[in-house]
Structure 1
Amino acid sequence: MVVEIFGGNIMVKYSELKYTTFEEYFNDFINTLLPTNKTYEYFVDWNRVNKVVHKYKREIKLLESLYGLNKDEAKRKLEEILLEYPSVLPLLPALIAERTKKGQVEIYDPDKFNFLTLDFNPHLLTTQELQEILKFCERTGILNVLTTVENLENYLFGVEVGLDTNARKGRSGKIFQKMVERFLGRNVPEYITLVTEDKNFSLYKAIGRSKTPKKHDFVFYRDGTPIAVMEVNFYNTTGSKPLEIVRSYITLNRVAKDRNITFIWVTDGPAWNEMKDTLKIGMKEIDWVINYNQLQRLINIFNSVNWELTEL
């Protein structure tokens, strides 16, 4: 069954999903979007936070020796520690919530009218490097932290918890992927093998030039043969990224069809309420576009034909 919309043919298989019209399918998609994908794991990655703090326990104790010293005393003490224990170097930018790039921090020094690259990887410091590091600690307030904060471990713990909130956007997609994986694990029959982020199979090889093509979120195998791939994503906020994703998935859907493989796009999130036109572009070209709540309809269809998906 095909309907006309925006002057083109809707390809999404809404009738197989047990909807009478595209409008019924689309309205159900929008009305059943998840308001959030925040699970308990979303808020803080405690394993990462504890790992960072535990990693620097020895160095924290060394730097705590500066507590209560005046500025000059603290600079001399820090200089001694840096020369004797270079392993404290990575801890210094962490105290001001600075994520280094390969252990380095780039900064503009207005006194020298020049950009500096400070290396905080553990290494023996030259005289010039030592003075630059000491200046960095003084000007950025690190030295003040070391002389006024008695318990650096608790301080660093708080800093890392705060920094971890920046990683929530990246965790959001992984959390939704885990939600879908749990559902599939309960509903996919045993004769179907589900592989997450399969290293051995990717349709992206056909559309990209990279030697290491992107992995699919899920690949479904039957008797050792890939029969379906699934991509999942969740959007809390609007932006240009969804349109890029839609275009790439339209291409993947065509590549998959050429190889008798079923392409499935599971997407969700409140942002789709504001990006309906972008969503319809994908639905116009991709066979299977569903949200999390529609997953059961899809699995029911596949189970009804014993996952002989070429029949659909």
Structure 2
Amino acid sequence: MDELYKPEHFNKLIETINKKGIIQYDYFVNWQKVLKNVEPIEKELNLLNTLVGKADFESVLFDIFKEYPKTIKAIPTLLAIRDKSIEVLIDKTNFIYQHFDFKQKELTDDNVHKLVEFVMKSGLGELIQNKQIKSIPDYCMGVEVGLDSNGRKNRGGTQMENLVESFVAKFCHEQNLQYLPQANAKKIKENWNIEINVDKSSRIIDFVIKDNTDKLYFIECNFYNGGGSKLKSTATEYIEMSRFWKEQEIEFIWVTDGKGWLTTQNPLQDYFERGNILLNIEMLKGGYFRKIIK
């Protein structure tokens, strides 16, 4: 285990940094979520689809809103927003706002006219009328795919966790050890009757392994494709975190990777040189858990 603290270990880690990334097929689009968001307004989208190419677009839209008011709830999604009501600044000089409510149950003609005006002035109406949007249901699916792209950052973190867990699970199975994913103090107490002190009540550890002597090993993992201040702040946080766990005789293992570290090596080296355990994916592949957990 002494070799894990030598300079050669850090050099090897940098040399074997994963530069290609860990993108897997489920990273791109969460199709289940997209379909789940579209399904509740599917009927309304099909009703609105009758508007495509209509010369008397505003008149027909007024009639649809009036006769089928539930169609109004689909408008925010078509504009890629989640808000059920919105304030639009219509006078920049006097700061006058127009309120639009997309969840109204009782509509006056004035309310409907305002909603039709909103659709037209937002530019959505013109696209539908001119057939630049040829299928509103298909267009809505595309909007949801675009909105889902915001979740890729979280999926990237989840993919690293899934990848590391595959090594944790295999190692624990081979060594007949137990582990807990996404564990907090309560979960550790309930499963193993071991009490730990935490630095904050919301602290969740990516993985906890318990050896046959009831010693605990805490594992945190992350992957950085790009550099920036986040990497430095993470390294600083983990220096303190490792110290905090060591005081309780808990071994802290940081598994991190990604080409972002190639331009931000100093914080990573600072963490390592303080006597902390540092691994990357290539080292997991090389069976480094066996060097740490007996």
TM-score if structure 1 supplies the norm length?
0.78
**Whole-Å separation in 2 of the counterparts to 1:160 and 1:131:** 27
Whether the aligned pair in 2 keeps the contact of 1:198 and 1:219 (CA below 8 Å) is yes
- In the TM superposition, what whole-angstrom CA distance separates every residue of 1:102-123 from its partner, at most 9, and x where no partner exists? x344543236623455443464
**Whole-Å separation in 2 of the counterparts to 1:86 and 1:229:** 54
Higher helix share: 2
* Aligned partner (choices 122, 138, 147) of residue 140 of structure 1: 122
**Whole-Å separation in 2 of the counterparts to 1:120 and 1:159:** 18
Q: Which runs of 5+ in 2 are unaligned?
A: 189-194
Whether the aligned pair in 2 keeps the contact of 1:89 and 1:121 (CA below 8 Å) is yes
Moved more, 85-94 or 107-116: 107-116
Which amino acid letter does the alignment assign opposite residue 109 of structure 1? I
* Aligned partner (choices 81, 102, 114) of residue 64 of structure 2: 81
Which amino acid letter does the alignment assign opposite residue 235 of structure 2? V
Identity, % of aligned positions? 28
**Whole-Å separation in 2 of the counterparts to 1:125 and 1:242:** 52
* Aligned partner (choices 224, 232, 243) of residue 254 of structure 1: 243
Q: Does 1:207 align with 2:188?
A: no
**Whole-Å separation in 1 of the counterparts to 2:87 and 2:274:** 46
**Whole-Å separation in 2 of the counterparts to 1:180 and 1:205:** 25
In structure 2, the residue matched to 1:164 is: 148
Structure 1 segments, 4+ long, off by >6 Å, are 202-205
- In the TM superposition, what whole-angstrom CA distance separates every residue of 1:93-141 from its partner, at most 9, and x where no partner exists? 2223x2325x344543236623455443464456665454333211111
**Whole-Å separation in 2 of the counterparts to 1:252 and 1:259:** 11
* Aligned partner (choices 46, 49, 55) of residue 31 of structure 2: 46
The alpha-carbon distance between structure 1 residues 224 and 68, as it changes in their structure 2 partners (threshold 3 A), is: farther
**Whole-Å separation in 2 of the counterparts to 1:240 and 1:56:** 41
Q: Does 1:221 align with 2:205?
A: no
Quote the RMSD (CA, aligned, Å): 3.0
* Aligned partner (choices 253, 270, 295) of residue 259 of structure 2: 270
**Whole-Å separation in 2 of the counterparts to 1:166 and 1:57:** 23
Question: Aligned pairs, how many?
Answer: 281
**Whole-Å separation in 1 of the counterparts to 2:291 and 2:281:** 15
* Aligned partner (choices 54, 59, 82) of residue 44 of structure 2: 59
The alpha-carbon distance between structure 1 residues 275 and 46, as it changes in their structure 2 partners (threshold 3 A), is: same
TM-score if structure 2 supplies the norm length?
0.82
